[in-house]
Amino acid sequence: MHTLVRFSVLALALAAGTYFFAQTNVAVGTRVELTLDSSEAEQALLILQKEQANQAVTDADWQKLFATAPYQWLKAREAAIKRAFTDEDFRKFLQAPETLARAEEWAQTLAGMERADMTGIGRRVLSWLPPGAVIHARVFPMIKPHNNSFVWRNAHGEPAIFVYLVKQTQAQFETIVAHECHHIGLFGLDAQQQKVLAGLPENVKQTAELMGAFGEGEAVLAAAGSTEQRPHWEDDALARARWDSDMMHFNQDVATLTQFFDDVLDGKLKGDAIQEKASTFFGYQGPWYTVGYEMAALVEKRFGRAVFTDCLLDPRLLLVRYNEVAAEANRNGAALALWPQSLLQRVYVDHPPPSAP
């Protein structure tokens, strides 16, 4: 896999119970508003090119950079997490020899990003989301000191996808954006999700919300665009091999996650300890990704898109539908781990899990 780390910020927020609220009663034509703003990267590259050519970089050049929307959003985000960030520090970063050495790489990568059809990406992802979902977000390719990528919402709740300008292909960039768009679109349906889980005992509701972290795997599938398109198709052989290797732990990971869910239901894990344990399942692309993807792909292939999107609104349902597919496959010689019926009965409390459509 290329060096850009896949995102897990939104899934962590989902598990923690913090949500992005968006309006869902909008016309179809406005459901996708996905824009690329590369003004910060372009102006930073202009300054780097001047420095390489031994041309004077004027104060106006710097002020133009500092006035770009991506830079202003980055500055606000760093302040929100109490990380030191000043214009002077950014000047020093751009003037450093190691930064100058990467200018050509960044220019080539940015050119690929700017060729991406942002609206097309959003529309493709929208087909993997429940009715009423919207994808309204900005995408910021960034040249910056820290080589992390993330999703952040400003004080008005508006999301932006910050993509660090590491060397990558256009296809890799589009996959990253699609993955995050799936998270953003689903977050806008929080009211529907909460209605499904309303009235549950707190420990059951919390466990169901934690199951929402399988959204990482669901987003992997949506970004791939088809169960026939393998994850990491756009990456190198090493990344594909690592994914395949991690997928081989599926049955073991199901058992580990079962214990985790049981510990939450039993009250053996409480407070911060729950999130600390949940975070270990993200990793590079841990079980929230691999187990989530395998379940999502099998369910979508067996039952269709409508059932897949139902599972997005009720995270428990993904486990139920997967069990039905896996039991059928096991009768034909497969050896897929099943979620214990006792766990499913506990998260559905006083009524049985819904039967297959």
Give the per-residue pLDDT at 283: 85
How far apart are alpha carbons 53 and 60 in whole angstroms?
18
User: Quick one: 160 and 65 in the same domain?
Assistant: yes
User: Quick one: 39 and 108 in the same domain?
Assistant: yes
Longest Cα–Cα distance of the chain, Å, equals 73
Residue among 300, 303, 285 at smallest CA distance from 128: 300
* Helical pair 59-66 and 69-80, crossing angle rounded to 10 deg: 60
Amino acid type, 75: K
User: Quick one: 287 and 155 in the same domain?
Assistant: no
User: Quick one: 133 and 220 in the same domain?
Assistant: no
User: Quick one: 238 and 169 in the same domain?
Assistant: no
pTM: 0.87
Domain end, chosen from 133, 160, 187, is at: 187
Instruction: Answer whether residue 12 is part of any domain.
Output: no
Cα 202 to Cα 8, 54, 165, 347, 349, distances in angstroms:
24, 63, 42, 11, 12
316, 293 Cβ separation under 8 angstroms: no
How far apart are alpha carbons 205 and 356 in whole angstroms?
22
Instruction: Answer whether residue 178 is part of any domain.
Output: yes
User: Quick one: 285 and 311 in the same domain?
Assistant: yes
User: Quick one: 341 and 278 in the same domain?
Assistant: yes
User: Quick one: 32 and 75 in the same domain?
Assistant: yes
Instruction: Answer whether residue 1 is part of any domain.
Output: no
Instruction: Answer whether residue 356 is part of any domain.
Output: no
User: Quick one: 168 and 241 in the same domain?
Assistant: no
How far apart are alpha carbons 24 and 41 in whole angstroms?
32
Q: Cα dihedral sign for 230, 125, 181, 112?
A: positive
User: Quick one: 64 and 96 in the same domain?
Assistant: yes
* Strands (E) located in the chain: 32-36, 135-142, 150-153, 159-164
Tens-digit pLDDT string for the chain (357 aa): 332 333 333 433 433 333 333 333 334 458 999 999 999 999 999 999 999 999 999 999 999 999 999 999 999 999 999 999 999 999 999 999 999 999 999 999 999 999 999 999 999 999 999 999 999 999 999 999 999 999 999 999 999 999 999 999 999 999 999 999 999 999 999 999 999 999 999 999 999 999 999 999 999 999 999 999 999 999 999 999 999 999 999 999 999 999 999 999 999 999 999 999 999 999 888 999 999 999 999 999 999 999 999 999 999 999 999 999 999 999 999 999 999 999 999 999 867 677 766
Domain end, chosen from 122, 153, 187, is at: 187
- Across the beta sheet with 159-164, what order do the strands follow? 32-36, 135-142, 159-164, 150-153
User: 322: which residues sit within 8 A by CB, 6+ positions away?
Assistant: 295, 298, 299, 339
CB atoms within 10 A of CB 102: 15
Task: Say how many Å lie between the first and final Cα of the chain, rounded.
Answer: 38
Instruction: Answer whether residue 264 is part of any domain.
Output: yes
Burial letters 168-202, b for 16+ CB under 10 A, else e: beeebbbbbbbbbbbbbbbbbbbebbeeebeebee
190, 13 Cβ separation under 8 angstroms: no
Instruction: Answer whether residue 301 is part of any domain.
Output: yes
CB neighbour class for 33 (10 Å; exposed up to 12, middle 13-18, buried from 19): middle
User: Quick one: 207 and 134 in the same domain?
Assistant: no
Give the per-residue pLDDT at 29: 56
The tally of domains found in the chain comes to 2
Instruction: Answer whether residue 208 is part of any domain.
Output: yes
Q: Cα dihedral sign for 316, 320, 323, 328?
A: negative
* Strands (E) located in 23-143: 32-36, 135-142
Q: Which domain holds residue 336?
A: 200-347
User: Quick one: 331 and 221 in the same domain?
Assistant: yes
Calculate ∠ Cα 54-58-59, nearest 5°: 145
Domain end, chosen from 164, 187, 210, is at: 187
Instruction: Answer whether residue 6 is part of any domain.
Output: no
